[in-house]
């Protein structure tokens, strides 16, 4: 059987500026795809690099009083460090200033000249130095402003070599018609087709107005146009024309780029390849932009903000930043960046759905199975999670084939969500109460095995979380774990000792992280001198049927911080007949509450259930134990007590209003 290969490239980056989070978007996405294909056992190559020539770099270097190479070297180093921080696993990093690149670009130029595809002429036109591209009047905004950079373009007139781009328009159109997946997403394909149909003009491919470029081999007064130089990196890095890597990986599976450079990749690049008789890449995917304040996040746009990816990673960690970039914006479309959206994603998806599930399951295995993954009992297995996991894996695979990375993550999240629901439905604490030990063991095994699979599902996207999840299960995956093997149900060996550690993702306080406020202490309300032994469940709640009591206004009510909390452990308090000591998960934050409910509830029946916590009640000590809040209950019939709980969908930590 023929071995599948996957060759993915990102654009090579300009090192005249530090990269912002918009730039990292392409590379993080490419890294996720490359990791996925490696996991599938495909022969994978992932290329990135830096695009170092051009007028902009020459000018910036001059301003800094440096030679261009001396100027870009530390920036390139910084870019490499950025990729290391984001755990980008590229296979090669090409700099356009390297000999292997320059030599081949010159050979390509020479060949195109020799065969008559490049000829000499004079160019007059409007040029954006930031895009390194000429524009026609109709493409510019009013006042001859570049539509990408919002800056005035310059009138340039120079002797130039031209590439016969016009000759290749019909062949490219034909190629796009026959290979609809060549330009993606579809909306962008239509844009490219319309552009070619309007008629292509020959392209100016050399410059005499600056020196910082690869010299035209037969006319050294000219340097090669930076886009011909840059685009060629995709094959020079493979050792075109006869390198082993070139034979192995070309044509590329996908060039992943932002939509602003789609025309270069979907028109100029294929035309150059057709002229050279080289097969075209299978796909060019132009993703959308991360927007900030309604515009593209961009250093050269006056007045706009940029977000430094390193600052974000330092503040939130690599996996949360990677997750946000990959999940938040539908891949292909534009999407607004905001730190608030990032924090919300961390809290909702990572802390609640995933982190809480792992923590909750490990707690139950500790409580109900002595801390060891129990062996499932075949006759008791409902197969629900096994079936769901298989469906989710299939869907993630389909989405990644279509490069719908956000959809893949959305599909992946169906698994932790289903496991949470499964636990609520199966209620292990009830199974224990009813003495259904075999079912209980099976349910706990299923939850743990599904959690192992969550780790597998996340492996293409997140770099530390899968290992941390497996670690909490006490599971040591094999060194070379391929996706198809790892996705099989039942690989988690019973008997492993769980290692419940810190919650995977602490829940973040939005105000605190955005405004940098110090952690707020809860409002100082409540009775400071509660007598030992008094139950935090208000006795007044029992059986009082007189309505209403004294009125309070909304503001007063809102000062009471009511939260959903999940009971993670419960124990009797020696010597206190009425009291139970509860450990609560309040959305990643752990609280201990001493509650006067021992006459009505057995500790083991409470674990895993949601309760309502008065979270800003001043902490008190009861029988030597700290009680950080109060849980709510109401009177039941015949002197019984009913704890207030929630519908299964409520999320620990969320406010009760």
d(CA 269, CA 281): 10
Q: How far apart are CA 349 and CA 328, in angstroms?
A: 11
Secondary element (H or E) of residue 24: helix 21-39
Q: Is 131 a catalytic residue?
A: yes
Q: Is 7 in the site for ligand MSP (CB under 6 A)?
A: no
Q: Does 267 bind ligand MSP (CB under 6 A)?
A: no
| Cβ-contact 24, 30 below 8 angstroms | no
Selected from 73, 181, 202, 260, the binder of ligand MSP by CB under 6 A is 260
Q: How far is the CB of 51 from ligand MSP (least distance, A)?
A: 3
One character per residue 503-532, x = contact with ligand MSP (rule: CB under 6 A) = ------------------------------
Q: Is 265 in the active site?
A: no
CB 104 within 8 A of CB 45: no
| Residue 42 appears among annotated catalytic residues | no
Is 285 among the residues that bind ligand MSP (CB under 6 A)? no
Classify burial at 91, counting beta carbons within 10 Å of its beta carbon; exposed 0-12, middle 13-18, buried 19 or more: middle
Task: Round to whole Å and give the CA distance between 491 and 182.
Answer: 39
Alpha helix locations (H) across 427-530?
428-433, 437-458, 465-472, 483-486, 510-515
Instruction: Give the active site residue among 37, 53, 146, 287.
Output: 146
* Catalytic-labelled residue, pool 80, 175, 299, 421: 299
User: 146 catalytic, yes or no?
Assistant: yes
Q: Which of 53, 149, 439, 600 is catalytic?
A: 149
Q: What residues pair up with 141 in beta bridges, in sequence order?
A: 145
Under the criterion CB under 6 A, does residue 289 sit at the interface with ligand MSP? Answer: yes
State the catalytic residue, choosing from 53, 102, 128, 259: 128
In sign, the C-alpha dihedral spanning 472, 478, 479, 480 is negative
CA dihedral 551, 553, 558, 562 (to 10 degrees): 10
Identify the helix (H) or strand (E) that includes residue 452: helix 437-458
Q: Which is nearer to ligand MSP, 296 or 441 (CB)?
A: 296
CB of 40: closest distance to ligand MSP in angstroms? 25
Give the residue at shortest CB distance from ligand MSP.
258
The least CB distance from residue 141 to ligand MSP, in Å, is 18
Is residue 20 flagged as an active site residue? yes
* Contact characters 40-79, ligand MSP, x per CB under 6 A: -----------x----------------------------
Residue linked to tokens 């292509």:
200
The 3-state DSSP composition of the chain as helix, strand, coil percent (nearest 5) reads 45, 20, 35
Query: Binding to ligand MSP by residue 257, rule CB under 6 A?
Result: yes
Residue 389: count other Cβ atoms within 10 Å of its Cβ. 25
Residue 149 bears catalytic tag: yes
> What would the two tokens of residue 119 be?
């000829």
Q: Is 13 in the site for ligand MSP (CB under 6 A)?
A: yes
Choosing from 131, 222, 265, 388, the catalytic residue is 131
Structure tokens at 328: 């938040």
Under the binding rule (CB under 6 A), the answer on residue 296 touching ligand MSP is yes
Binding-site string for ligand MSP from residue 308 to residue 347, where x marks contact by CB under 6 A and - marks none: ----------------------------------------
| Cα 16 to the center of its chain, rounded Å | 26
Binder among 8, 12, 612, 613 for ligand MSP (CB under 6 A): 12
Question: Which pairing describes strands 43-50 and 92-95: parallel, antiparallel, or unpaired?
Answer: parallel
Stretch of residues binding ligand MSP (CB under 6 A), selected from 134-142, 288-296, 530-538, 624-632:
288-296
Could you tell me the smallest distance in angstroms from the CB atom of residue 47 to ligand MSP? 10
- Residues 68, 185, 213, 258: which binds ligand MSP (CB under 6 A)? 258
Is 315 annotated in the active site? no
Closest approach of ligand MSP to the CB of residue 440, in Å = 49
Strand (E) or helix (H) holding 601 = none
447 binds ligand MSP (CB under 6 A): no
Going by their DSSP bridges, the two strands 562-573 and 610-614 should be labelled as: antiparallel
Task: Write down the residue that tokens 């509650």 correspond to.
Answer: 595
Count of residues engaged in binding ligand MSP, rule: CB under 6 A: 21
Single residue of 6, 7, 8, 23 touching ligand MSP by CB under 6 A: 23
Strands 254-258 and 284-287: parallel
Q: In what order do the strands lie in the sheet with 206-207?
A: 206-207, 219-224, 215-216
Which lies closer to ligand MSP via its Cβ, residue 149 or residue 507? 149
Give the nearest distance from C-beta 314 to ligand MSP in angstroms.
20
* Helix (H) or strand (E) run with residue 97 in it: none
Contact residues: ligand MSP, CB under 6 A? 11-14, 22-23, 25-26, 51, 230-231, 233, 257-258, 260-261, 289-290, 296-298
- Enumerate the active-site residues: 20, 23, 128, 131, 146, 149, 296, 299
């Amino acid at each position: 059987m023929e071995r599948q290969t996957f060759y993915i490239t990102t654009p090579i980056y300009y090192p005249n500026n530090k990269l912002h989070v918009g730039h990292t978007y392409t590379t993080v996405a490419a890294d996720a795809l490359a990791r996925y294909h490696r996991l599938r056992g495909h022969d994978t190559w992932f290329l990135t690099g830096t695009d170092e020539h051009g007028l902009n770099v020459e000018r910036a270097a001059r301003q800094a009083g440096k030679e261009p190479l001396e100027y870009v070297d530390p920036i390139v180093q910084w870019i490499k460090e950025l990729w290391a921080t984001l755990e980008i696993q590229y296979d090669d990093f090409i700099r356009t200033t390297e000999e292997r690149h320059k030599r081949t670009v010159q050979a390509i130029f020479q060949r195109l000249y020799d065969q008559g595809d490049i000829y000499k002429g004079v160019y007059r036109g409007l040029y954006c130095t930031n895009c390194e591209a000429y524009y026609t009047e109709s493409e510019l905004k009013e006042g001859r402003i570049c539509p990408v950079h919002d800056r005035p373009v310059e009138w340039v007139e120079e002797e130039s070599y031209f590439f016969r781009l016009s000759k290749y328009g019909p062949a490219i159109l034909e190629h796009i018609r026959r290979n609809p997946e060549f330009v993606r997403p579809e909306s962008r394909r239509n844009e490219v087709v319309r552009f070619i149909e309007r008629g292509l003009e020959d392209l100016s491919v050399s410059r005499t107005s600056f020196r910082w470029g690869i010299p035209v081999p037969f006319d050294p007064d000219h340097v090669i146009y930076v886009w011909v130089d840059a685009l060629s990196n995709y094959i020079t890095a493979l050792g075109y024309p006869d390198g082993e890597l070139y034979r192995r990986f070309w044509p590329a599976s996908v060039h992943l780029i932002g939509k602003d450079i789609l025309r270069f990749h979907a028109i100029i690049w294929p035309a150059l390849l057709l002229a050279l008789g080289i097969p075209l890449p299978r796909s060019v995917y132009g993703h959308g932009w991360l927007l900030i304040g309604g515009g593209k996040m961009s250093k050269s746009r006056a007045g706009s903000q940029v977000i430094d990816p390193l600052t974000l990673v330092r503040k939130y960690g690599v996996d949360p930043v990677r997750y946000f970039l990959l999940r938040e914006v539908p891949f292909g479309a534009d999407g607004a960046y905001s730190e608030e959206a990032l924090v919300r994603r961390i809290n909702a998806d990572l802390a609640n759905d995933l982190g809480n599930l792992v923590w909750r399951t490990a707690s139950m295995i500790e409580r109900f199975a002595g801390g060891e993954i129990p062996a499932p009992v075949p006759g008791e297995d409902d197969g629900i999670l096994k079936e769901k996991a298989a469906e989710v894996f299939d869907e993630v695979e389909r989405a990644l084939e279509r490069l719908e990375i956000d959809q893949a993550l959305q599909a992946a999240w169906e698994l932790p969500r289903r496991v949470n629901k499964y636990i609520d439905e199966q209620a292990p604490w009830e199974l224990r109460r009813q003495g259904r030990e075999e079912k209980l063991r099976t349910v706990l095994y299923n939850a743990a095995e599904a959690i192992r699979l969550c780790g597998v599902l996340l492996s293409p996207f997140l770099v530390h979380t899968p290992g941390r999840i497996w670690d909490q299960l006490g599971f040591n995956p094999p060194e070379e774990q391929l996706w198809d093997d790892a996705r099989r149900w039942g690989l988690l060996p019973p008997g492993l000792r769980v290692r419940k550690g810190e919650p995977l993702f602490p829940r973040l306080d939005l105000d605190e992280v955005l405004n940098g406020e110090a952690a707020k202490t809860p409002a100082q309300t409540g009775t400071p001198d509660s007598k030992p032994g008094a139950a935090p469940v208000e006795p007044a709640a029992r059986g009082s049927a007189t309505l209403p009591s004294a009125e309070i206004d909304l503001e007063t009510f809102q000062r009471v911080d009511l939260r959903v909390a999940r009971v993670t452990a419960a124990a009797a308090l020696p010597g206190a007949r009425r009291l139970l000591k509860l450990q609560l998960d309040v959305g990643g934050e752990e609280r201990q509450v001493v509650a006067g409910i021992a006459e009505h509830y057995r500790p083991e029946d409470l674990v895993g259930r949601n309760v309502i916590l008065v979270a800003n009640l001043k902490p008190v000590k009861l029988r030597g134990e700290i009680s950080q809040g109060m849980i709510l209950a109401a009177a039941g019939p015949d002197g019984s007590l009913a704890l207030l709980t929630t519908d299964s969908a409520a999320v620990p930590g969320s406010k009760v209003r």
